[in-house]
Chain A
Amino acid sequence: MLKFPIYLDYSATTPVDPRVAEKMIPYLCEHFGNPASRSHAYGWEAEKAVEEARAEVAALVNADPKEIIWTSGATESNNLAIKGAAHFYKGKGKHVITLKTEHKAVLDTVRELERQGFDATYLDVKEDGLVDLDALKAAIRPDTVVVSIMFVNNEIGVIQPISEIGEICRERGVVFHVDAAQATGKVEIDLQKLKVDLMSFSAHKTYGPKGIGALYVRRKPRVRLEAQMHGGGHERGLRSGTLATHQIVGMGEAFRLAREEMAAENERVRQLRDRLADGFKDMEAVYVNGDVERRVPHNLNISFAYVEGESLIMAIKDVAVSSGSACTSASLEPSYVLRALGRNDELAHSSIRFSIGRFTTEEEIDYTIDLLRRKIDKLRELSPLWEMVQEGVDLNTVQWAAH
């Protein structure tokens, strides 16, 4: 039995795995203690649970538990990492480098640093969505203090060459921050090998609860941060605030499951994604956005040319997906990520992000393929652009009356 709408938006958020929820519940009513209470058993058992979860998060990325700081999510982790490092090292320089295709939580944080008097470089990506390593090398200046580049892009799912970037940054003595919100449980992360100084994590992209995340802060060689949240000195002064024990327990369990099940799950998800992609293969004017090989198995970002994204999403309301077109917000701008790939506006407006996950079934994929094909046909019948292309008109030669 299919349940509607079919959820294919796992990159937006994932459901909490029932095994995770079950583990969290006792920490609400029963083991409710404050992990910072050192004087009684309530506090001790909460602290134990927090430290076990910390060890699980660390284990997924092969780090030391002492290098993991709890936050409220990847947005806070990105803020703490980028602003924290930039502020601490500002004596050395005031230049920051990031990518144009980063998440807003990074881009807006860098913008804020600019407002505070820092200088920022927003690097272009190549047509496949990947960073140009030579451009990065050329952009690093003597006063560059932080480079922030995401592990996996949230819209197109491409995997950046984190290992190579780490080598470049370490050699030049620049702090390297990685937003790994979309990477955990999808790609192998080994922080003993990667020369990454700071890495942001989120629980809710990996079948954990919303409202909890973590920041990895390297100890050897040690990276220093200026705290952004002040108070009781929790998390060794880097992030004050009473720890959310139940959320933390949930994140720990979610990351433990990710570590144990990742290999098998990725294989299953990859098969479903390929099945979905194959379903559109013989259609005309369909383009995959972003590199096809260097991409997580969960993501298929695809443009159906001559069909507008928002009307397509409306047509396929039985399937919960995201449109690359931000028409749904008030901005009416096509996706800045797809534009950064050099996609023309028309294709950027026509993109759909399918993201597949733990609970997706073959039946759901088959239903989606059938629905999409029917609706694309219908909308193309409605599309004057499709008509012109069928008549042999090159749309680039048309003088449009922009409005």
Chain B
Amino acid sequence: MAYSEKVLDHYENPRNVGGFGKEEEGVGTGMVGAPACGDVMKLQIKVGKDGVIEDAKFKTYGCGSAIASSSLVTEWVKGKTVDQALDIKNTQIAEELALPPVKIHCSILAEDAIKAAVADYKKKHTD
């Protein structure tokens, strides 16, 4: 299988690997996928008082495209408000990484991870 250079770059040098404490102030955690499907992504965002995402971390079990997709979105969400982050679409991720059709599900999963992390953040911070 031929991977694009961008996938290889993110795969070899993944950005923002790691995590925050789930109970830390301003942290939203999204975990999507299933081991049975061969992909699990954990994406965490750390949101400042102004509603802007200050930092993001990920861990991914999955193929190179899944790792690259989640690494990429940690870069993209930083500096965005949580609502702007929700505008990131899987098609943009797939385009940026030049994912082949069989790997589109990796970009969909990364979009789902953002949604899950934002939903978790909002749930914790509505009151």
Residues of A participating in the B interface, judged by any CB pair closer than 8 Å: 306-311, 314, 325, 327-328, 330, 332, 334, 344-346, 349, 381-387, 395, 400-403
| Interface range for B | 20 to 34
Chain A, interface SS category:
helix
Q: With a CB–CB cut-off of 8 A, which chain A residues contact B64? A: 310-311, 314
Interface positions of B (Cβ within 8 A of A)? 1, 3, 11, 14, 17, 19, 31-42, 59-64, 66-67, 102, 105, 108-109, 112
Chain A nearest Cβ from B74, distance in angstroms: 12
Main DSSP-derived SS at the B contact region: mixed
Is A384 touching B34 in the complex (CB atoms < 8 A)?
Answer: no
The 4 closest A-B pairs by CB, nearest first: A400-B34, A346-B35, A345-B36, A384-B42
Chain B residues with CB below 8 A from A402, complex form: 34, 36-37
A334 to B, closest residue via Cβ: B38
Q: Can you report 25 residue pairs joining A to B where beta carbons are below 8 Å apart?
A: A306-B61, A307-B61, A308-B61, A308-B62, A311-B11, A311-B67, A314-B64, A327-B63, A328-B1, A332-B102, A345-B37, A345-B38, A382-B60, A382-B67, A383-B61, A384-B31, A384-B40, A384-B42, A384-B59, A385-B35, A400-B35, A401-B32, A403-B33, A403-B108, A403-B109
Nearest Cβ on chain B to A375's Cβ, whole angstroms:
11
User: A395 to B35, Cβ gap below 8 A?
Assistant: yes
Could you tell me if B3 and A314 are in contact, using CB atoms closer than 8 angstroms? yes
**Known contacts A403-B32, A403-B33, A403-B109; A384 and B102 CB within 8 A of each other:** no
**Cβ of A387: which chain B residues have Cβ within 8 Å of it?**
19, 42, 59
**CB closest residue in chain B, given A400:** B34
Residue among A310, A384, A402 having the largest count of chain B Cβ atoms under 10 Å: A384
- Cβ–Cβ < 8 Å partners of A401 in chain B: 32-34
* Chain A residue at minimum C-beta to C-beta distance from B62: A308
Complex-state Cα separation, A327 to B62, whole angstroms: 10
Cα A385 to Cα B66 in complex, Å, equals: 14
Measured between beta carbons, the chain B residues less than 8 angstroms from A314 are 3, 11, 63-64
Residues from chain A with a CB closer than 8 A to the CB of B40 are: 384-385, 400
Cβ-defined contact, B34 with A349, below 8 A: no
Find chain A residues with CB under 8 A from B33 CB: 400-401, 403
- CB proximity of A242 to chain B, nearest CB, Å: 38
